[in-house]
């Protein structure tokens, strides 16, 4: 296993550490500590990709692990924050904040599932889809939003600073959601050829086998 893959695995291993620290409220400033862990984990995304490209260390294992690590890290952080209202209600202790935040998280998670499924279909037809630049900007805003919201949950008792961080986090979350919709729709529209691409030979054979099995079952009945 090369260095970039080890760094990616480190990011995956940091996810349960982040979750444990996040929910250990007996630890002073646990949200801020969780914020630091998240920042470290998010930075490894840039580091492993940079090293892999610079030193030609790109592997299939890395292609498999890297997007999973990114999505699980962000999804875990967003879901965890939703179950702790005090993180989101620092500036405005209103129900609409929770509702809007919940919608934003749902949209972000839905986009990741849809695009992941779309990439699977593309891969099954032999098409390789390039990463979307808007998607990268979206990820940056997601990371900033999560870091700011965690830091603003209780920034060493400084209420004003906590509120500023909270507002920045909520605004970045809203921007990330808009970019999520934009990048998701644009990604599919730009690569709509996937839907008209013919099935590969392996797919055709598998489909024929399924049809034969279905015919055999029908005849036995």
Which residue did the predictor score with more confidence, 21 or 125? 21
- Cα Rg, the chain, nearest whole Å: 21
3-state secondary structure of 63: helix
The pLDDT value recorded for residue 122 is 82
Residue 138 pLDDT greater than 50, yes or no: yes
The pLDDT value recorded for residue 98 is 96
Work out the end-to-end distance of the chain between its first and last CA atoms, rounded to an integer number of angstroms: 51
Instruction: Report yes or no: 130 and 119 within 8 Å, Cβ to Cβ.
Output: no
Residue 17 pLDDT greater than 70, yes or no: yes
Please give the average per-residue pLDDT across 80-109, as a whole number. Answer: 95
Instruction: Report yes or no: 52 and 124 within 8 Å, Cβ to Cβ.
Output: no
The pLDDT value recorded for residue 210 is 52
Which residue did the predictor score with more confidence, 79 or 63? 79
User: Distance between CA 48 and CA 171 in Å, rounded?
Assistant: 29
> In the chain, what percentage of residues exceed pLDDT 90?
58
User: Distance between CA 160 and CA 55 in Å, rounded?
Assistant: 45
Q: How confident is the model at residue 199 (pLDDT cuts 50, 70, 90)?
A: low
Instruction: Report yes or no: 186 and 132 within 8 Å, Cβ to Cβ.
Output: yes
For each of the domains in the chain, give its residue range(s) and CATH number, in order of start: 3-201 (1.20.120.1760)
The pLDDT value recorded for residue 105 is 96
User: Distance between CA 194 and CA 118 in Å, rounded?
Assistant: 8
User: What is the chain's mean pLDDT, rounded?
Assistant: 86
């Amino acid at each position: 296993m090369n260095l970039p893959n080890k760094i990616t695995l480190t990011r995956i291993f940091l996810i349960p550490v982040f979750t444990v620290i996040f929910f250990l409220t007996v630890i002073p400033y646990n949200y801020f500590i969780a914020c630091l862990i998240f920042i470290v984990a998010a930075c490894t995304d840039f580091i492993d990709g940079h090293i892999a490209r610079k030193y030609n260390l790109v592997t299939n294992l890395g292609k498999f692990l890297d997007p999973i690590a990114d999505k699980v890290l962000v999804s875990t952080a967003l879901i965890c924050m939703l179950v702790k209202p005090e993180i989101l209600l620092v500036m405005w202790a209103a129900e609409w904040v929770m509702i809007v935040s919940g919608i934003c998280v749902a949209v972000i998670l839905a986009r990741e599932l849809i695009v992941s499924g779309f990439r699977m279909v593309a891969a099954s037809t032999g098409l390789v889809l390039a990463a979307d630049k808007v998607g990268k900007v979206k990820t940056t805003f997601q990371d900033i939003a999560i870091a700011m919201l965690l830091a603003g949950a209780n920034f060493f008792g400084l209420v004003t600073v906590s509120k500023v961080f909270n507002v920045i986090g909520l605004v970045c979350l809203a921007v990330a959601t808009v970019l999520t919709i934009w990048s998701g729709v644009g990604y599919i529209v730009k690569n709509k050829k996937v839907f008209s691409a013919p099935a590969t030979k392996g797919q055709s054979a598998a489909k024929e086998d399924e049809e034969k099995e279905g015919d055999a079952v029908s005849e036995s009945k």
